[in-house]
Amino acid sequence: MDITKYVMGPIETNTYLLQIGGDVLLVDPASKPEKLIEILGDRNLKGILLTHGHFDHIKAVDGLYEKYRCPVYLHEADEELARDKQAGSDFGLVAYISCPTIALREGKMEIGPFVFEVVFTPGHTEGSVIYVFDDCIFTGDTLFKGSVGRTDLKGGDFSTLKHSLELFKQFDKDYTVYPGHDGVTTLSEELMNNYYLR
C-alpha cells in the first residue's frame, strides 16, 4: 500500500491518500476538495475514513462526496460534532459535513482491496477512532509524535484519552504512526519517548 501525506488547511492537518493499484482511500480530507480531486485524477476513490469529527479534518468531505458519491465513514458519537456549523467559529473557520455518513464499528473492515481494523479511542472527541493496517496506524488527533491531542474542546476528556492511550501498549509489533498533525513517527519511538504513553 502506498501512502502520501498532504498538509492542508490553516491548522496544517495531515490528509492521507492510501493507494493499492488504481483504488484509493482518503483519511481526513481536511481542505481544498478541488485540489484533492485534481490529485485523484482517474483513480477510484473507494471511501473516506474520518478519524473524528473536528472541523479541521472534514472541510473537503462534502465536495468530494458531491464528485464521487463515495462512502464516508465516521463514528456515530462524532456525528453531531461533524455537522455542527458553529464548531470552528472560535478559530475563524467554517467546516462541517452535510453528506450521508456510515457509522463505524470496531473490528475488521474491508473496502475494496483495503483491509484494516477500526479501534475506538475516545478522549480527544467522543467518537475518535484509529485505523490499524498491516504495518501502520492512522491515529488522527489521539496520538501525535511526542504528544497527544488536546482535550479542552467539546467532547474532549483527558481521563478518557488516558484510557484509550493504554491500547497502544497492547499492540504486539511496531507500527509506523501517521498522526493528524505534525510528523510521522513509530509506535516504538512513542512508547519509549512520549510522556503520555509512559
Q: How far apart are CA 60 and CA 18, in angstroms?
A: 16
Contact present, 139 and 110 (Cβ < 8 Å): no
Residue among 72, 42, 67, 53 nearest 13 (CA) = 53
Cell 464521487 -> residue: 68
Class of domain 2-197: alpha beta
Tens-level pLDDT at each residue, the chain (198 residues)? 999 999 998 899 999 999 999 999 999 999 999 999 999 999 999 999 999 999 999 999 999 999 999 999 999 999 999 999 877 666 667 789 999 999 999 999 999 999 999 999 999 999 999 999 999 999 999 999 999 999 998 889 999 999 999 999 999 999 999 999 999 999 999 999 999 998
